[in-house]
Structure 1
Amino acid sequence: MDVDDDMLAQVRTLLGTSTTKATINGALAEVLALAARREVLLNPELVAGSAALADDELRRSAWA
């Protein structure tokens, strides 16, 4: 597997891991957790206003 050594080192520091395997597994777990949080935030039945978050134009205009 060809991995960017600089990115691996940065992620290793952020996650506090000591091995490549632990770093990659930790990064994968973080991506899955991020996806789960996003799914909850965009579920209008769970979060008030989340339907607006799913609208790209409304989301962009909030930062303008």
Structure 2
Amino acid sequence: MTKSIELDENLVEEALALGQHSSINLLVETALKDYINKYKREKIIELFGTIEYQENYDYKKQRNRQ
């Protein structure tokens, strides 16, 4: 997919230097992946404390089941 966008030249130069990316396309793709992963992690963190579990659940016993 081809899209035309305007980017801050200073940000692009700094990101290219830091990430050692060979092209702006690779830089933008990596940045988008990082952005998506960040928000996925935040969604997972929001689940902490919301899942109920059984007090008598024996996870060690479940490990040995085959």
- Smaller-chain TM-score range? 0.5 to 0.7
* SS in structure 2 at match of 1:42: helix
* One-letter amino acid of the counterpart of residue 19, structure 1: S
Q: Which consecutive unaligned segments of at least 5 residues does structure 2 have?
A: 52-66
Which has more helix, going by share of residues? 1
Deviation at 1:40, TM superposition (A): 0.8
Task: Name the CA distance, whole Å, in 2 between partners of 1:15 and 1:8.
Answer: 10
Q: Of residues 29, 34, 37 in structure 1, which corresponds to 2:33?
A: 29
Ranges of 4+ aligned residues in structure 1 off by more than 3 Å: none
Deviation at 1:7, TM superposition (A): 0.7
Bigger Rg over Cα: 2
Deviation at 1:11, TM superposition (A): 1.9
Aligned residue in 1 for 2:11: 7
Q: Over residues 3-30 of structure 1, what are the superposed CA-to-partner deviations in whole Å (9 max), with x where a residue is unaligned? A: 1111112222333211010001110000
| Count, aligned residues | 46
Most deviating of 8-17 and 35-44: 8-17
